[in-house]
Amino acid sequence: MTFEQWLQSRLTAHGYSPGPIDGVVGKNTIAAIRAFERANRLPVDGKADETVVRALRASASAVSPHDMTKIPDRDKDQDNVAATKHKWPRQKDVTAFYGGVGKSQTRIDIPFDMYLAWDKRRRITRMTLHEKVASSAQRVLQQVTEIYSHKERRELGLHLFGGSLNVRRMRGGSRYSMHSWGIAIDFDPERNRLKWGRPRARLSHEDAVPFWQAWEAEGWLSLGRARNFDHMHVQAARL
């Protein structure tokens, strides 16, 4: 993630509308910076200077020095976005691409505090995913620590793990769920029930948009954003 993308993600997390999180600081991004400056009683110049960055870094709802997001280096070379973008197979082609269900699994480290959704006192530090998607998921989760503060992740429910690898049939069907290949992850299933749409599902709200865009930048698909159901779920397969 570039500094410019971080800037746009944070403006979005604070409820402003810089447009797509594409790293291009155009007139929408500048207008959002100005609106943010005005609301925070900062000099209104549309520039992401140090005071703006400090205010943006703070949690969108409460300010605590321990509750800040990480800022990517301003001078960091832009990651080669095209090179990190994956083209995942369509759902009907997952066996050809990933192999048999439950095969070729590995584990990734989770870069923030995460707990089992069904046993919230149990912290987890790793999750199981298919070898082909592991590094991509790892990059997205790392970005989540840059986009959201600890407190914001909790408000969104991103700290509640609802499952990754799970070899099972789809509900009410004979086909395997995408979880069977370890290519799907669920977050906070309690507040994002399968049949809930917008705005009932927590992850359908505006402040979750940077979260989904981080996945989409790596080619993953949100069923919530694509079909307005199962807002807990993201998968490395197209419809």
Q: What is the full DSSP assignment across 166-195?
A: ---BPTTSSSBPGGGGT-EEEE-GGGS-TT
Rounded CA separation 206/216 (Å): 15
Closest contact distance (angstroms) between CB of 34 and Zn ion is 40
CA distance 188 to 160: 5
Candidate segments 30-38, 129-137, 139-147, 183-191, binder of Zn ion by CB under 5 A: 183-191
Contact with Zn ion (CB under 5 A) among 186, 188, 207, 216: 186
3-state helix, strand, coil in the chain (%, to 5): 40, 20, 45
Nearer Cβ to Zn ion (9/235): 235
Give the nearer residue to Zn ion in terms of CB position, either 163 or 210.
163
- The residue range among 62-70, 72-80, 122-130, 185-193 that interacts with Zn ion, by the rule CB under 5 A, is 185-193
Question: Distance between CA 199 and CA 184 in Å, rounded?
Answer: 23
Q: How many residues line the site for Zn ion (CB under 5 A)?
A: 3
233 lines the binding site for Zn ion (CB under 5 A): yes
Torsion angle in degrees (nearest 10) through CA of 38, 44, 46, 49? -100
User: What is the Cα–Cα distance from 52 to 55, expressed in whole angstroms?
Assistant: 5
| Nearest residue to Zn ion, scored by beta-carbon proximity | 233
188 binds Zn ion (CB under 5 A): no
Taking the least distance from each CB to Zn ion, the nearer of 8 and 192 is: 192
The encoded tokens of residue 28 equal 């929408």
Helix (H) or strand (E) holding 128: strand 119-130
Contacting range for Zn ion; rule: CB under 5 A; set: 32-40, 42-50, 165-173, 229-237: 229-237
User: Which stretch, 91-99, 129-137, 180-188, 189-197, contacts Zn ion (CB under 5 A)?
Assistant: 180-188
Question: How far is the C-alpha of 222 from the C-alpha of 2, rounded, in Å?
Answer: 23
Distance from C-alpha of 206 to C-alpha of 224, rounded to nearest angstrom:
13
153 binds Zn ion (CB under 5 A): no
CB of 220 to Zn ion, least distance (A): 12
Q: List interacting residues with Zn ion (CB under 5 A).
A: 184, 186, 233
